[in-house]
Amino acid sequence: MPTAARSAFAALALLAAPAVGLAQEPATAGYDEALRKLQADFERRIAELEKKIAEQPSPKATIEQALKGKWYEKIGLRGYTQFRYTTLFNKDMTPDLVVGNDSTVTEQDTFGIRRGRFIFSGNVTEHVYLYAQLDMFGTVGGAGDKGLQNRDLYADVAFDTDKEYRLRLGQSKVPFGFVNLQSSQNRAAMERPEALNSAVEGERDLGVYFMWAPKEIRTLFSDLIKRGLKGSGDYGVVAIGAYSGQGLNRSDRNGEAHWIARASYPWQFDNGQILELGIQAYTGDFVVNTSGAVTAKADGIDDERAGLTAVLYPQPFGFESEWVWGRGPELNGAGTAVGRKSLDGGYVQFNYALETPKGNVFPFVRWNYYDGGRKFATNAPRDEVSELDLGFEWSPWPELEVAVMYTHTFHRTNTRSAPYSDTEDEDRIGFQVQWNY
């Protein structure tokens, strides 16, 4: 016991002496013995109290124990934001350049936030995984209005503890095309190519999919993201299912689902290089939005596509290509009715992963081509696109990426408004800063 505490106990003992009959004793050994007993009693009581306090859990441990096993403690938060500035070189051209899936391309050369994503996800139980993604700067109305938009809201229900067999239910990405499944957080080029993205603009829909992938392949899919190799994520080696078909945040309009199947497998060679090959196809009836005197079948128009995928992951050289063929809704030449016409298109991209003392650099070149209807646009006008992209992405730290991309437009259709005129030989350059959290 500390000296100060012992002195205090001695003083208390002296004060208490009359109460224990010590006042009648002379200052002898009997008096000292009584004092030692009183002091020993105090020390014993304090030791017992200290032991009880030590046995009590800390406030932190108490809180952790109270929250242990609660599903909301297993949900993580992450996300990213993309801040852009895009400028056109030939602003006096007529008609104006209109890029359907990139609202930051305008004649005004203004700053813009392309994406502001917040993602909540986690394995809440051994068999249920939850995923929700919000965009703080998504399109929520006409005339390019921006606001909070739901992107994903789904659950993966696994039938085994390794999650090799699972069922995905809710609003999620439709498993069609590698580049559609690849997150914009990971993609080098600023936007997806029209040939793939026109199949499912916004990449998402309401649906249910059965997915299967062996445990070791699921691990490989995850590693491709962690290692910065521009992977698409884990959507199974095989995925089959059905979805509404009307697109992101839209209800079914004809009571007939789109059916889809996809198979994609990554092979890892002895030198570490990874090659992924895939095939996908879907079919359904799509209900077109029309305006004016344009007519279209009320219960939908046949909409079907098939595509091939080949991806050589950059280690350090990489190659990526996808091509699709099919038939879908398209406005006729007279501009009076929407029917079914053939379509085809794709992209070819070469890239390189370069590690430097100042961070990772990812240069790339991509050719983007599409010839077919843009079914998600009003009246489903014909969309002809041929563009060449040159750019690079520089990541000085994992939480920050800087990208520059120059685009030469050989040919692009304005699908926003009639008469759906074409722009040729236009040039633009985009700058983007992305921060990850």
pLDDT at 218 over 50: yes
Same domain (yes/no): 162, 41: no
Are residues 163 and 263 in contact, defined by beta-carbon separation less than 8 angstroms? no
Residue 435: what pLDDT? 98
More confident: 186 or 2: 186
pLDDT at 382 over 60: yes
**pLDDT-derived band at 436, boundaries 50, 70, 90:** very high
Q: What is the pTM of this model?
A: 0.84
More confident: 17 or 184: 184
Same domain (yes/no): 136, 81: yes
Mean pLDDT for the chain overall: 90
**pLDDT-derived band at 26, boundaries 50, 70, 90:** low
Average pLDDT over residues 408-433: 94
Same domain (yes/no): 46, 81: no
Average pLDDT over residues 191-218: 97
Same domain (yes/no): 94, 146: yes
What total number of domains does the chain contain? Answer: 2
Q: What is the pLDDT of residues 341-378, one digit of tens each?
A: 999 999 999 999 999 999 999 999 999 999 999 999 99
Question: Residue 27 belongs to what domain range?
Answer: 3-56
Residue 71: what pLDDT? 72
Same domain (yes/no): 94, 39: no
Residue 139: what pLDDT? 82
Average pLDDT over residues 261-282: 96
Residue 22: what pLDDT? 44
Boundary residue ending a domain (17, 32, 56) = 56
pLDDT at 68 over 80: no
Average pLDDT over residues 23-50: 76
**pLDDT-derived band at 245, boundaries 50, 70, 90:** very high
Same domain (yes/no): 357, 327: yes
- The segment with the largest mean pLDDT, out of 5-9, 39-43, 71-75, 320-324, is 320-324
Give the whole-angstrom CA distance, residue 425 versus residue 373. 22
What's the CATH code of the domain at 375?
Answer: 2.40.160.10
**pLDDT-derived band at 258, boundaries 50, 70, 90:** very high
Residue 103: what pLDDT? 82
Residue 295: what pLDDT? 97
Residue 37: what pLDDT? 83
Residue 20: what pLDDT? 44
Same domain (yes/no): 79, 50: no
Same domain (yes/no): 43, 73: no
Same domain (yes/no): 23, 87: no
Same domain (yes/no): 16, 154: no
Residue 15: what pLDDT? 47
| Percent residues over pLDDT 70 in the chain | 91
**pLDDT-derived band at 60, boundaries 50, 70, 90:** confident
Same domain (yes/no): 17, 121: no
Boundary residue ending a domain (15, 33, 56) = 56
Q: What is the pLDDT of residues 174-199, one digit of tens each?
A: 999 999 999 999 999 999 999 999 99
pLDDT at 114 over 90: yes
Residue 55: what pLDDT? 78
Residue 413: what pLDDT? 95
Average pLDDT over residues 146-165: 96
Amino acid residing at 115:
R
Residue 96: what pLDDT? 79
Residue 18: what pLDDT? 47
Q: What is the pLDDT of residues 220-230, one digit of tens each?
A: 999 999 999 99
**pLDDT-derived band at 217, boundaries 50, 70, 90:** very high
Same domain (yes/no): 29, 71: no
Are residues 276 and 193 in contact, defined by beta-carbon separation less than 8 angstroms? no
**pLDDT-derived band at 144, boundaries 50, 70, 90:** low
